[in-house]
Structure 1
Amino acid sequence: MRTALSLDPASDPIAALYRDHHGWLHTWLRKKLGCSHQAADIAQDTFVRVMGSRAQSSDTACWAESHAYLTTVARNLVVDHWRRQELERAYLAAIALLPEPEAPSPETRLLILESLLRIDKCLAALPAVTRRIFLRSQLDGLIYADIATEMELSLATVKRHMSRAFLACLQAA
C-alpha cells in the first residue's frame, strides 16, 4: 500500500530530511564537483530521488536518520553526471573532426547526445559478459562465431547474450 506524501512540512519526514541535511549535502557536492550550481542541481536531484523511493516504500526509518542514504544517492548521481560529461566530450570531439557541411545542427546534436546517454545507461546495466559480447559484435564487427571462439563460449551462449542486449536496447528506446 502506498502512503501519500504529507502536505504539512512539520510532519513530513522528507521535509525534515531536506531541512536537516540539504546544507551539508550541498557543501559535500560542491567539494566533489567544484561548482556550486552543479552541486545545487545534484542536491535537488538527490532529494527528488529520495521522494520517489519514499513513494514506493513507507519504511523511511532506514534512511531518514543518517547521511549514508543521501550520500549514496548523491554519489550515484555524481557518477552519472561525470559519465554524461565524458560521453558529451567524446561526442563533441568526434563531430569536431567532421567537415562543416556534415556537422549536425545543434538540435540534432542534442538528440544524438540524448540517444547516446540512453544507450550508455542501457549498456552499463548489462552484465559485463553480455556488454562485452554486444560491443565486440556491434563496434568491432565480429560475427557471433568469432566472439564465441575468442571468449571460449558456445555459439548458443553468445546468441543468448546478444538477445538480452538487443532486448535491453529496445526497452531503452
Structure 2
Amino acid sequence: MRVARRVREAARRNGSIERRDRASGRLHRPEVYAQVSDAPDPFDQPGPDLTWLCHPALTGMPIQEWDALITTLTALHEDQREAHLDQRRGHRPRLAAPGTGRRPMLTLADRLLAAVLHHRLGLRQVAIARLFSVTPETINRRIRDIRQLLGTAGHTIHRADHQLTTLEHLYDHASAAGITAPSKIKTAS
C-alpha cells in the first residue's frame, strides 16, 4: 500500500497524472505535448507497401516535382479539411486540438497515387481499390477529392501513351521499367 502511494505521489509531482487543486477544487490534467521531430509527416508519404508506385515511370513526374506537388496539396488539403470541419460545427470554435482524431486509411500520397493510376494509366478503380486494400467506394471518393485539390493547385495529370486495365498489366509495366514491386496483393474485406 505504501509503495503504491509513493508512486502515485511521485507521478503527481512530475505531472504525469491528473490532480485536484486544493484551493479551487478543479481538476488539472497533464498536458500532452507533441514531440517535434525532423521526420516527415506520414500523411505526406505513401504506405510502406506502396512506395514503388511513386516511381517516375508510373507517375510521369520526376521525384522533385512529385515532392513539390505533395507539399502544395498538403497545404490545400489542410485548408479544405478545416473549412469542412468548420462548416460541420456550424462555424463554432473548435473544441479539440487540430490534428486529433483517427488517422485516415489512405494518406494524401496514397490518394494522389490512386488518382495518378486512374487518370494517367487508365487503371480501373476496382483494381486500384484492391491494390490499396480498401473498397472501390473509398477509392472513388478519394480520387474525386484529389481531383478537386489538383484543380485548385492548377495541376493536371497527363494521360500516358500506354493504358493499363488490370493489376497484372501494372506489374508488367513496372517490371519493364525496372521497378521492383511486392509480389502479394492484399484484398479488402
Q: When the two structures are superposed, what TM-score results if normalisation uses the length of structure 1?
A: 0.29
Higher normalized helix content (fraction of residues): 1
Q: Rg bigger for which structure? A: 2
Larger RCO (CA under 8 A, 6+ residues apart): 2
